[in-house]
């Protein structure tokens, strides 16, 4: 099987369609996520934005009856290519979910180390990588004296940063975030947003959000989806000052929900 | 889909209505300014000065309303452009009010029954009437989001500029009498303020175009003016 090369950074979707059985959830989307940029995907519930990002790291197909057509590329690499190792794809394209989901029985340390152990990392190198990941997720100072405590003993915001550390540990190139702050309080939300700003120095970031102000705060580019279609993608500034499409205008101004 | 954010939209409409109301205060002031100039009516001029407190009060209300909506409602896209434009527009209207006050403060300085030059006086009154008409047109263009009408303000403003230049020539040629020269100097200062009111009306027109198109551009570029042909 082909290992996904770690230098791949630009994500290019070409004519992407996604289905749940007969339901057509994503309709022929062409889209590019540029390296070292944050791209936000906004749109009403059921517009296909979460499905779209789940196609990027091939998680969509895990659901019964779900399938995707079209292409997803990491630089030149075809993510849906026949010889691609799906596990390797998901390591290279990490994902952070709406609700923090640390492994409930594991310590803080083991939560971050779990993925690394699967790849055979041990000893000093393992500890270094865990520390680096916790620093990268902005959590190290808060947990360095209690790495053996259960992951679920942390606050919601800390748990989410723990999950980000877990994603960072396996050295991804792209990070997909599906409503990463929607279960958090405003301060924890702002910490995650600060973190996103720092993470984009090293990664390509895609963030799905219901919170338009969050998109406005963190994203370089914003894409608007409606009924499975990509209506518009542009610089975040343009989307929130002078969107090109009247449907985007109506959505962001809250004229129609 | 059901319409949402109706409360916000109501507030925004109220704010716009408040700003539009300030234009009416200035057009009313300019009507009085024209009368006061024509008849050297110091009392009427004093009323204009006193009533400017209403324009200033309206400025504060709209300014505060804009800040409040920005803080509470996080407006975006066309709503954001409208709110940004209201902040600019109310500032222009407040300045036009101040310019009326400046004129009315100059009038008593011309003295009781000053010698006048009827042609120059006619031109100054004409300028005041033209300024009033431009302010009304700026309001109308904004209220209707009519970019064509807003752009036409540039053409209208040419009239004021032409009258201003004519007054300048008349003042130079007004003769040797010290009193009438002093009067003409005061009239030229008044003409200068009227000309500025016209400029502010054009600036409001530019905000109308911004709200509609999303692009801000100056209708005329004062630092790169087109050459003015002689005799205009």
Strands A77-78 and A66-74, by their bridges, are antiparallel
Buried b (16+ CB within 10 A) or exposed e, B127-159: bbbbbbbbbbbbbebbeeebbebbbbbeebbeb
Chain B residue closest to A217 (CA)?
Answer: B74
pTM (2 d.p.) = 0.84
Most confidently modeled of A117-126, A141-150, B220-229?
A: A141-150
pLDDT bucket at A65, cuts 50 / 70 / 90: very high
Do you know the residue count of chain A?
257
ipTM above 0.85, yes or no: no
Structure confidence at residue B1 (pLDDT): 52
Q: From the candidates A213, A215, A242, which should be mutated to test the interface with B, based on the most B CB atoms within 10 A?
A: A242
Looking up tokens 């041990």, which residue turns up? A122
Instruction: Point out the residues of chain B with pLDDT beneath 70.
Output: 1-2, 225-232
pLDDT band at A205 (very low <50, low <70, confident <90, very high): very high
Shortest distance between the Cα of A31 and any Cα of chain B, in A, equals 23
Predicted pLDDT of residue A251: 95
Query: B77-106 and B42-73 are packed helices; what angle lies between their axes, rounded to 10 degrees?
Result: 160
The Cα–Cα gap between A188 and A184 comes to 6
pLDDT of A118 above 90: no
Report whether B128 contacts B34 (CB < 8 A).
yes
In chain B, what are the domains?
A: 3-213 (1.20.58.220)
Residue A36 has pLDDT above 90, yes or no: yes
HEC sequence for A100-127? CCCCCCCEHHHHHHHHHHHCCCCHHHHH
Chain A nearest CA to B58, separation (Å): 27
The confidence score (pLDDT) of residue B230 equals 44
- The residues, any chain, with a CB within 8 Å of residue B9's CB and separated by 6 or more, are none
Question: B3 and A256 in contact by Cβ < 8 A?
Answer: yes
- Asked if B5's CB is within 8 angstroms of A253's CB, the reply is yes
Mean pLDDT of A7-11: 73
- B219–chain A Cβ distance below 8 A for any pair: no
Name the residue facing A213 among B2, B74, B215 (closest C-beta). Answer: B74
Task: Quote the CA–CA distance of B4 and B6 in Å, as a whole number.
Answer: 5
Whole-angstrom Cα distance, residue B107 to residue A81? 85
Report in angstroms the alpha-carbon separations of A144 from A116, A130, A140. 19, 11, 5
Q: Are B133 and B61 in contact, with CB atoms under 8 Å apart?
A: no
Nearest residue of chain A to residue B212 (CA atoms):
A242
Across chain B, mean pLDDT equals: 93
The whole-angstrom separation of Cα A22 and Cα A193 is 37
| Distance between B224 CA and the closest CA of chain A, angstroms | 28
Whole-angstrom distance, CA of residue A45 vs CA of residue A25: 12
CA–CA gap between residue A156 and residue A178 (Å, rounded)? 16
Task: Tell me the average pLDDT of chain A.
Answer: 93
Instruction: Output DSSP code: residue B3.
Output: B
- When comparing pLDDT for B167 and A5, which is higher? B167
Q: Does B71 touch chain A (CB under 8 A)?
A: no
Q: Which residue is closest to A237 within chain B, CA to CA? A: B77
Say yes or no: A186 contacts chain B, CB-CB below 8 A. no
| β-pair partners for A223 | A41, A233
Query: Higher pLDDT residue, A255 or A92?
Result: A92
SS3 state of residue B162: helix
Which residues of chain A are within 8 Å of residue B8 when distances are taken between CB atoms?
254
How far apart, in whole angstroms, are the C-alpha atoms of residue A175 and residue A96?
7
Residue A178 backbone phi and psi in degrees, to 5? -105, 100
Is the confidence at residue A5, as pLDDT, over 80? Answer: no
In the numeric block, which tokens belong to residue B205? 């027109």
Contact A10, A35 (CB under 8 A): yes
Distances (CA, A) of A95 to A111, A127, B156: 15, 22, 60
Q: How far apart are CA B130 and CA B30, in angstroms?
A: 10
């Amino acid at each position: 099987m082909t290992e996904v090369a770690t230098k791949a950074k630009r994500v290019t979707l070409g004519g992407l369609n996604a289905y749940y059985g007969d339901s057509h959830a994503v309709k022929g989307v062409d889209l590019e996520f540029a390296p070292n940029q944050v791209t936000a995907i906004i749109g009403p519930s059921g517009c296909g934005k979460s499905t779209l990002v789940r196609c990027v790291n091939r998680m969509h197909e895990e659901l019964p009856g779900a399938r995707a057509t079209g292409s997803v590329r990491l630089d030149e690499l075809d993510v849906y290519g026949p010889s691609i190792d799906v596990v390797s794809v998901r390591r290279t394209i990490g994902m952070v979910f709406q609700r923090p989901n640390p492994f409930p029985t594991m310590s803080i340390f083991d939560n971050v180390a779990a993925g690394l152990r699967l790849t055979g990392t041990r000893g000093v190198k393992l500890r270094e990588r865990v520390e680096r990941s916790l620093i990268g997720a902005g959590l190290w100072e808060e947990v360095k004296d209690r790495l053996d405590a259960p992951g679920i003993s942390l606050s919601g915001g800390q748990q989410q940063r723990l999950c980000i550390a877990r994603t960072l540990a396996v050295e991804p190139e792209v990070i997909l975030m599906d409503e990463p702050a929607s279960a958090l309080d405003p301060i924890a939300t702002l910490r995650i947003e600060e973190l996103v700003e720092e993470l984009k120095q090293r990664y390509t970031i895609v963030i799905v959000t219901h919170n338009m102000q969050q998109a406005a705060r963190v994203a370089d580019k914003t894409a608007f989806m409606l009924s499975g279609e990509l209506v518009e993608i542009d610089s975040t500034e343009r989307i929130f000052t002078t969107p090109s499409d009247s449907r985007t205008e109506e959505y962001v101004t809250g004229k129609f929900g | 889909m059901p319409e949402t954010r109706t409360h916000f939209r109501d507030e925004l409409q109220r704010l716009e209505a408040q700003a539009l109301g300030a234009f009416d205060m200035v057009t009313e002031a300019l009507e009085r300014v024209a009368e006061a100039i024509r008849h050297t009516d110091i009392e009427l001029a004093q009323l204009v000065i006193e009533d400017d407190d209403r324009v200033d009060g309206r400025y504060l209300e709209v300014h505060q309303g804009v800040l409040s909506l920005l803080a509470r409602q996080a407006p975006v896209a066309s709503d954001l452009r409208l709110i940004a434009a209201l902040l600019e527009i109310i500032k222009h209207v407040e300045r036009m009010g101040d310019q009326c006050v400046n004129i009315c403060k100059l009038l008593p300085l011309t003295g009781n029954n000053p010698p006048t030059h009827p042609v120059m006086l006619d031109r100054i009154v004409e300028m005041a009437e033209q300024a009033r008409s431009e302010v009304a047109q700026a309001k109308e263009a904004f209220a209707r989001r009519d970019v064509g009408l807003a752009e036409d303000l540039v053409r209208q403003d040419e009239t004021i500029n032409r009258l201003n230049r004519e007054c300048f020539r008349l003042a130079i040629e007004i003769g040797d009498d010290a009193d009438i020269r002093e009067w003409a100097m005061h009239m030229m200062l008044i003409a200068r303020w009227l000309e500025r009111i016209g400029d502010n009306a054009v600036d409001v027109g530019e905000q109308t175009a911004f709200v509609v198109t999303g692009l801000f551009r100056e209708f005329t570029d004062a630092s790169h003016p087109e050459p003015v042909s002689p005799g205009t």
